[in-house]
Structure 1
């Protein structure tokens, strides 16, 4: 469990500690630094542990999951983050007690794992406005959808769309893209469905390009995002493939599963390993 994750109160985290303590053959570990969850997961694999359950947000889930890729150890999730994108896609209960029981008793499935260069992601990743907002959001003291919406509105006024060169089955120039998202799952989190047709076990990466749009169109795009009808917008272009290469003029600021990262390269290679992670959830 990440003790600093999301919007969960100390009382709720104490409840998790008590509930886990009542389970047979279960032990709770607290993460102490960035990357610690991956180390714990890797050790669990070496010891032949059958399930490791990430208690936290999408960042914690990503850290745990990257330590399990290619193994027989299954990932469970108790979602206590701000967005809980992968948990929502896998139809995991959002209530703590139900999520714990779900993780302990539900069936195991296999999902695809995507990579930005060598960085694994399990839900969504990309460049442009979303990465810009993720970077701003990460610096805020408060979390949650309200804070994210506030930062999005503030960032809209200052962000400038960029141009990219894309290589997949054919090479194209993408001029003035507002954002480019590479999706394994349907959503960012909070049921904001950027790629509602994505299937997490189909061996394909969906690319969603959001073209620049007037400020007056933002409310309509927002409604479409949460209703799962965004692909119907004239400002959206989509493509599916097993691999993409994206080039920009300058070093790229990216986001992966909600986490921002400034790269020291202007080239991204987006790849996929089919069904490389075992998860507890509905695929």
Structure 2
């Protein structure tokens, strides 16, 4: 059997990701690659001109794989460059919200995550583009959750405790939005607390807003939270139970337009985008290659 070819890996590391207990990623990555035929290059993200710095590093190094080390925001940043360069993406979950990693059932432990990045298998997943150019890998929404994201970012609250505090504030300030939804020729009017554009099933908190979602089925779901009801909310954490359509209504589609009567909060993959009255989304099937765990061999 021939030896595996030597690969060049470019790790984009966000040192600000995660909680106070942070992994020394450079040391961990260097130690993992000792004795391997592959090479690892690290780029530390600073929060200033990261997109340009990563693009230039890709052009100079010409890596075979890009690796995002951080939370959902970092994954999105690196995924954009992976798509532009036609490269596979690996993920080392290191953020306070790791929605895409949860969706792909990636290990959270650094050593196991590195095993997948180096020795895993490629999986082609769908991506969404919102308003023509804004990449969405898993979940975007308008209304209640986007309001939560806005407040959490404004207060600089991180981790599950931060999200919980922001959720309490958001629930106290909830309001219905009036939205016109046009999806695959179907048009409906709804009063809702929030509308989710769901390429995946899970938020970074683990809440399953779209239990039947699949990141690789060529469709996405428009999930309309019409009202709050305790039992239905509990289902989001007691995965994966179908919702009462009178409370949570779901449309499967390949494209959608949302028209909102008044400006509402809008977030994309955990990043606040401001207020909006119009959102368009369309899917690009199997556009991104992601490293996932190799399936276990069947028992003899």
Report the TM-score when normalising by structure 1. Answer: 0.90
Count of residue pairs the alignment pairs up: 274
Give the structure 2 partner of residue 18 of structure 1: 27
Secondary structure of the structure 1 residue equivalent to 2:44? coil
Answer yes or no: is the 8 Å Cα contact 1:41–1:64 preserved in 2.
Answer: no
* Deviation by residue 1:78-137 (Cα, 9 ceiling, x = unmatched): 101112010011111001121112111101111111012121010100101010001111
Give the structure 2 partner of residue 58 of structure 1: 72
Task: Confirm whether residue 111 of structure 1 aligns to residue 125 of structure 2.
Answer: yes
Of 130, 142, 152 in structure 2, the residue corresponding to residue 137 of structure 1 is 152
CA gap of 1:95–1:243, structure 2 versus 1, over 3 A, is same
* Deviation by residue 1:224-264 (Cα, 9 ceiling, x = unmatched): 0012245323401000111000011234421111111115x
Measured after TM superposition, the shift of residue 35 of structure 1 is 5.3
Between the aligned partners of 2:269 and 2:223, the Cα distance in structure 1 is 15
Greater CA deviation, 84-93 or 26-35? 26-35
Where does 1:78-157 land on structure 2 (aligned, <5 Å)? 78-117=92-131, 118-157=133-172
CA gap of 1:178–1:274, structure 2 versus 1, over 3 A, is same
Greater CA deviation, 40-49 or 247-256? 40-49
Highest relative contact order (Cα 8 Å, sep 6+), 1 or 2?
A: 1
Measured after TM superposition, the shift of residue 43 of structure 1 is 4.3
Between the aligned partners of 2:115 and 2:240, the Cα distance in structure 1 is 33
Between the aligned partners of 1:108 and 1:145, the Cα distance in structure 2 is 30
Answer yes or no: is the 8 Å Cα contact 1:230–1:236 preserved in 2.
Answer: no
Choose 1 or 2 for highest CA Rg.
2
Give the structure 2 partner of residue 32 of structure 1: 46
Answer yes or no: is the 8 Å Cα contact 1:76–1:280 preserved in 2.
Answer: yes
Q: Find runs of 4+ consecutive structure 1 residues off by over 3 angstroms.
A: 45-48
Answer yes or no: is the 8 Å Cα contact 1:38–1:63 preserved in 2.
Answer: no
Greater CA deviation, 105-114 or 18-27? 18-27
* Deviation by residue 1:253-276 (Cα, 9 ceiling, x = unmatched): 21111111115x521111111111
Greater CA deviation, 166-175 or 227-236? 227-236
Greater CA deviation, 36-45 or 244-253? 36-45
Between the aligned partners of 1:2 and 1:39, the Cα distance in structure 2 is 13
Measured after TM superposition, the shift of residue 32 of structure 1 is 1.4
Of 234, 249, 258 in structure 2, the residue corresponding to residue 223 of structure 1 is 234
Answer yes or no: is the 8 Å Cα contact 1:48–1:73 preserved in 2.
Answer: no
Greater CA deviation, 247-256 or 110-119? 247-256
CA gap of 1:112–1:41, structure 2 versus 1, over 3 A, is farther
CA gap of 1:98–1:166, structure 2 versus 1, over 3 A, is same
| Structure 2: gaps spanning 5 or more residues | 1-12, 295-300
CA gap of 1:8–1:273, structure 2 versus 1, over 3 A, is farther
Measured after TM superposition, the shift of residue 222 of structure 1 is 3.2
| Structure 1: gaps spanning 5 or more residues | none
Greater fraction of residues in strand: 2
Secondary structure of the structure 2 residue equivalent to 1:227? coil
CA gap of 1:251–1:228, structure 2 versus 1, over 3 A, is same
Answer yes or no: is the 8 Å Cα contact 2:148–2:169 preserved in 1.
Answer: no
